[in-house]
Amino acid sequence: MIQNNILAIDHGNKNIGLAISVKGDLPLGFKTLQNSKSAMQEISNITKENNINLIIIGYPNFKFGDSQIKKVDDFIVKLKESLGKNIKIKRFDETLTSKQANRYIGKNKKIQHQEAARIILEDWLNSKNLFS
């Protein structure tokens, strides 16, 4: 059983979607942030307020191209600098999560990224066989 509070992140060019799972329970969409300079501080505050120990970040595959992968890699570096060493950050394949999110919630841009983050986190939890 997972003892961590987990934050999932779906990083987009304009928005950053967040989802949370408390101690491995089913994840819930949490918030959508603008991808701006203040996003790092907001994520830092969220990790403190929710006792986050682990972050799962959606990681694009090769078909999205090197530029998208580089953007996520750069974001991860900044995240590590902002949060320090106490919070683990893991990459997890985000293939088709935006399409799934659109299928579930339509093209509602306000919550599309947080739904994608929820799917990423649910897939990660499923990969750990928590719901089998």
> What letter does residue 62 receive in the DSSP assignment?
G
Neighbouring CB atoms inside 10 A of 29's CB total 23
What's the whole-number mean pLDDT along residues 106-128? 85
Residue 109 or 60, more confident: 60
Q: Is 121 exposed, middle or buried (0-12, 13-18, 19+ CB in 10 A)?
A: buried
Q: With cut-offs at 50, 70 and 90, classify the pLDDT of residue 32.
A: very high
H or E element, residue 66: helix 66-83
Mean pLDDT of the chain: 86
Q: What is the DSSP string of 69-85?
A: HHHHHHHHHHHHHHH-S
Query: Is the model's pLDDT at 102 over the cut of 80?
Result: no
Say yes or no: domain 5-127 is CATH 3.30.420.140.
Answer: yes
Q: In what order do the strands lie in the sheet with 15-22?
A: 28-34, 15-22, 5-11, 52-59, 88-93
Structure tokens at 34: 């603008």
What's the whole-number mean pLDDT along residues 61-87? 85
| Cβ–Cβ < 8 Å for 119, 100 | yes
Q: Where are the chain's structural domains?
A: 5-127
Residue 4 or 22, more confident: 22
Q: With cut-offs at 50, 70 and 90, classify the pLDDT of residue 60.
A: confident
Distance of CA 110 to the CA centre of its chain: 15
